[in-house]
Structure 1
Amino acid sequence: MTSWCVGRTNYRKGKGRRMHPPSRTGRLYLFEFNGGGSIGPPLTELQRMDTAAVLDLKWCHVPVSGRPVLGMAAATGQLQLYALWESPEDQRSLQHLSSTEVGAERLLLSLDWSTGRMDGNDLRVACSDSAGCVGVFSFAEGALTPLSQWKAHDFEAWITAFSYWDTQLIFSGGDDCKLKGWDLRAGPSSPAFTSKRHSMGVCSVHSSVHREHVVATGSYDEHVLLWDSRNMRRPLSDTPMGGGVWRLKWHPTHEHLLLAACMHNDFHILHCKQAFEGDEGACPVVASYILHNSLAYGADWSRVSPGSPASCSPPSTAPEERPAEGGGHLRIQYESPTASFDTSLEDDSGRYIPEGIAAPVATPTAGPAFNTEDAASVSCLLASCSFYDHVLHVWRWDWTPERGSQEPDPD
């Protein structure tokens, strides 16, 4: 079993210079996933908490004092931490652990932990806000301690993220269309670099835990760029996505797979091997998930195996599964009952798809030929959220390349 957290917000998000701090309410849900093949839904709601609007959620990559810890960026300008507790009766719940106000009359927009490579020493949290500021906090003995805060961008700082290989280096992206790097050892008086390669606001940054110096960035300009942080003048690759790229997540164990939440153009999985080998073309899309009816916002991989597919196998009357490029397919596992509007699951022909039926796969945008010679078979569990309808989907991707040996094992 594993736990999922999802945040909900009830305000309409606008472009940065039009954002003001009226009251925004949200809710934090804790779910438990059981992929053991039981008859009931694979996701069970364990807890819900009414909160301020939730802009970002991230689990710390390592336990803290033996417990998982969740970080939440709130519309009140607070960074809030929760610990996952388990009672003697095996009941799991989130308990408030610590919080700090980053600034009055501002929204906390993103957070990141320094622990991406599973190193819990010198544990820190970075966050960004609607005033264009970035802050760094240490976390020890259950308390957050401010280390530094500075003005990083002219408008909203939509995203900040650690380099997981050198946690003294922090990236930030803002509504001023700039991607910046900050060396904490030199102080935040000036950035280590500034890139203007994105033509609109920079929304997402994620450092690879598998390859040192590799960073992925996404923007309202609808492009995913891969970078070598030693040379920020030119990206390794540039992939148009057809929608603003709000979130990017590298796969926790497969180094070439990158998940993208593309706002007006659904969710896509990129294969980035060719970019790492010097091919400057766009990264091919190997799978797309199109069953949300609203803005594609939150997305993440599960670190656990999805288990047996028996409980979600389609009945004999189900529409035939359509293979994804590379020999895989997608299955919807769960649609949350948290939506505020009536929604339906439909394929691209308008047919209803009940729970347990294979999800359709959109035809990827034409790109360079995809070489699967050394790709491994993959079975992944993913979660995705859409904005206005407040819906959470959990879906499974099974991908078996037509040929080839496995990718090298991660370190």
Structure 2
Amino acid sequence: MAWKSRTHNLQVFDTELSADTVEWCPLSSSHDILACGTYQLEKGAGEEDATPTRTGRLYLFEYRREGLMSPPLTELQRMDTAAILDLKWCHVPLSGEAVLGMAAATGELQLYTLSHSPEGGRSLHTLCSLEVGTERLALSLDWSTGRMDSSSDVRVVCSDSAGCVSVLSLAEGALVALSQWKAHDFEAWISAFSYWDTQLVYSGGDDCKLKGWDLRAGPSCPTFTSKRHSMGVCSIHSNPHREHILATASYDEQVLLWDGRNMRQPLSESPVGGGVWRLKWHPTHQHLLLAACMHNDFHILNCQQAFEGSGEACPVVASYILHNSLAYGADWSRMSPEEPAPCSPVATEPKESLTESGGHLRIQYESPTASFDTSLEDDAGRYIPEGIAAPSITPIAGPALNSNEDSPSLSCLLASCSFYDHMLHVWRWDWTPDEAQQESTGSNVDPAGALAALTL
């Protein structure tokens, strides 16, 4: 079946400081909430050897589609913080509230609760923090709740620049360190739980190693050590829908899929270019994987055939290229682009509204090969790039994505951010079967280009 795949930009927001992480809230009552973190390295004034400082800012947004003439994001809050390396929402409410975890350049893991004010507004408030080590940066975190299972045993895993991995528990509103060990020779860029067996933890480091750890056996020896990646391992994500499936990525520009029962040989190896900083499985469709490829934009991979044992690289079904800098943060929303916002208290006047627009917003994008203008607002108020033709590409066959087989289509809402141009983008991806093309040609080739991989 020929498929049409299109990406549309909905809004661009200037974070002022370098943006490196974005996270949509997974809780049903707050699907419209988006957090974005920034990281800014400030060189010391005066002496050349002055210690640089790392500062950051945490943004909180609300997504609400109230009309075509209004950009959908409204800023609810901004907080100046230490530089932020990673953000992750807990997948279940804790004491009835959404909780956001932050890995900070001060070596701290900081937790914030999302609170509702009597007037109807929502904001983040400090819950607690814990330093995982002195003179180090906390680099990543993951919650043990990835399958949305409520549990009294909620834990967080955190990796740091000293090569250590820490496991912490949250009890009575306080973080408690359960264990910490030296996992990698250099920076431990990433750590993650197996969402199917939360006694299993994975880590990846700048020593090019991917390791597994069984918390029941203690951290004295990893359950496996893989050197399949040829450069630093930056991203690990356990599939919350399919047991044993693990995705990993590296500076080596490869996305590997694994069956956790056999870590000697990956199920597939997919070259995506640019070095991969983050991977995110789709919140409901088990075979869709979002990749933030630092020097090569953002891509969505279809991993279905790899699950079935084809051994082939996962095809890219969509690409989003409208960032102008390092592609670092990316996440799927659980809302559809047209879905009404979750029921919530009546909003008060926001701190800063993003709905005022003085005409068309135009941004100049550059790349090593070309530059182009794009208008991010059309006459109907939709933020869609103009004048960019999709290339002619053989479309990717895909399975029916909806439970309704008569309408096998998918519309997704996503957010992504890029570093040096300090930009947050909210965009949508539509994937639908090209029935008209099939009827007119009887072919699987869509000459108009079935994918939205916009290349310069």
Q: TM-score, normalised by structure 1?
A: 0.84
Counterpart for residue 119 of structure 1: 149
Counterpart for residue 136 of structure 1: 167
2:363 and 2:373 in contact (8 A); partners too: no
2:324 and 2:366 in contact (8 A); partners too: no
- Within the alignment, does 1:170 sit opposite 2:201 as a pair? yes
Alpha-carbon distance in structure 2 between the residues aligned to 1:160 and 1:300:
17
Q: Which runs of 5+ in 1 are unaligned?
A: 14-19, 310-333, 405-411
How many angstroms does 1:350 deviate by? 1.4
Specify the code of the residue in structure 1 equivalent to 2:292: A
How many angstroms does 1:353 deviate by? 2.2
Specify the code of the residue in structure 1 equivalent to 2:309: G
How many angstroms does 1:22 deviate by? 3.7
How many angstroms does 1:217 deviate by? 0.3
Counterpart for residue 222 of structure 1: 253
1:346 and 1:353 in contact (8 A); partners too: no
Alpha-carbon distance in structure 1 between the residues aligned to 2:87 and 2:251:
20
Counterpart for residue 428 of structure 2: 396
2:302 and 2:315 in contact (8 A); partners too: yes
- Within the alignment, does 1:32 sit opposite 2:98 as a pair? no
2:114 and 2:123 in contact (8 A); partners too: yes
Alpha-carbon distance in structure 2 between the residues aligned to 1:221 and 1:243:
8
Alpha-carbon distance in structure 2 between the residues aligned to 1:71 and 1:361:
40
How many angstroms does 1:305 deviate by? 1.8
Counterpart for residue 7 of structure 1: 37
Counterpart for residue 161 of structure 1: 192
Alpha-carbon distance in structure 2 between the residues aligned to 1:34 and 1:265:
30
Alpha-carbon distance in structure 1 between the residues aligned to 2:208 and 2:393:
25
Counterpart for residue 287 of structure 2: 256
2:165 and 2:182 in contact (8 A); partners too: yes
Where do residues 5-84 of structure 1 align in structure 2 (5 Å cutoff)? 5-11=35-41, 22-37=52-67, 39-84=69-114
Specify the code of the residue in structure 2 equivalent to 1:351: D
Alpha-carbon distance in structure 1 between the residues aligned to 2:376 and 2:182:
48
Give the SS at the match of 1:274: helix
- Identify which of structures 1 and 2 has the higher relative contact order when contacts are C-alpha pairs closer than 8 Å and 6+ apart: 2
Specify the code of the residue in structure 1 equivalent to 2:384: A
Specify the code of the residue in structure 2 equivalent to 1:78: E
Specify the code of the residue in structure 2 equivalent to 1:74: A
Q: Per-residue displacement from partner, 1:300-328 (whole Å, max 9, x unpaired)?
A: 0001121169xxxxxxxxxxxxxxxxxxx
Alpha-carbon distance in structure 2 between the residues aligned to 1:363 and 1:141:
55
Q: TM-score, normalised by structure 2?
A: 0.76
1:345 and 1:354 in contact (8 A); partners too: no
Counterpart for residue 324 of structure 1: none
Aligned length: 368
2:42 and 2:54 in contact (8 A); partners too: no
1:201 and 1:219 in contact (8 A); partners too: yes
Where do residues 6-405 of structure 1 align in structure 2 (5 Å cutoff)? 6-11=36-41, 22-37=52-67, 39-121=69-151, 122-307=153-338, 344=364, 350-355=372-377, 356-359=382-385, 370-375=396-401, 376-402=408-434
Specify the code of the residue in structure 1 equivalent to 2:85: L
Specify the code of the residue in structure 2 equivalent to 1:296: A
Alpha-carbon distance in structure 1 between the residues aligned to 2:115 and 2:426:
23
Alpha-carbon distance in structure 2 between the residues aligned to 1:59 and 1:25:
21
Q: Per-residue displacement from partner, 1:23-59 (whole Å, max 9, x unpaired)?
A: 2000000011102326322101111011000000010
Q: Per-residue displacement from partner, 1:153-197 (whole Å, max 9, x unpaired)?
A: 000000000000000000000000000000000000010000000
1:287 and 1:362 in contact (8 A); partners too: no
Counterpart for residue 315 of structure 1: none
Counterpart for residue 20 of structure 2: none
Specify the code of the residue in structure 1 equivalent to 2:276: V
1:287 and 1:361 in contact (8 A); partners too: no
2:413 and 2:429 in contact (8 A); partners too: yes
